[in-house]
Amino acid sequence: MKPDCKIQNLRLNSNRLTTLCTLELTRVLSTNRSLRRLSLSYNRLGTPGLKRLSAALKAPACPIQKLELDDNGLRDACAEELASSLSRNRWLKGLYLNRNCFTDRSIPAFQHLAESCLSLKYIWLCRNQFSAEGQSKLQSLEESAHRVTIFV
């Protein structure tokens, strides 16, 4: 948590992290200026944990370029919060949200993110709960946000 820490990649996959762990993670995100990749996949952060993380990710100085949140039990309720917090991020290039519980109701949030986060190159949304029509809508977002590839 020291501001002069030079860690660039922090992988905390499959560690049974829960919402409570996000208290410390938000402190890390608010102080560390070298962290480029944060991988929290295969934990149980859930919607409350993601909302807490989103507040830290919203900070203009947050340098995260790759955020991995696969299989964390994330639901539609946090999609808008996540999209809002990352939409102004100047460094984010890749967002991994595979194997969560997003449905067609979260598509407008992901559309907003794809259109507003100018550094974003790809979003992974495989193995969520999108309908066939929803998957088609997400894939068509690539046409409106030319620089973003969305994997469904």
- Whole-angstrom CA distances from 30 to 12, 37, 60, 131 are 18, 14, 10, 37
Tens-digit pLDDT profile for residues 54-99: 988 888 778 999 999 999 999 999 999 999 999 988 899 999 999 9
Contacts of 47 (CB under 8 A, 6+ apart): 73, 74, 75, 77, 78
- pLDDT bucket at 2, cuts 50 / 70 / 90: confident
Least confident of 9-13, 85-89, 123-127: 85-89
- Answer for the pair 126, 99: CB distance below 8 angstroms, yes or no: yes
**From the centroid of its chain, how far is CA 140?**
20
Q: CATH code for 9-151? A: 3.80.10.10
> Domain limits of the chain?
9-151
The candidate with the shortest Cα–Cα distance to 101, out of 139, 59, 73, is 73
Dihedral sign, Cα of residue 136, residue 104, residue 25, residue 15: negative
- pLDDT bucket at 33, cuts 50 / 70 / 90: confident
Least confident of 61-70, 107-116, 142-151: 142-151
Which two structure tokens, joined as six digits, stand for 74? 């994330």
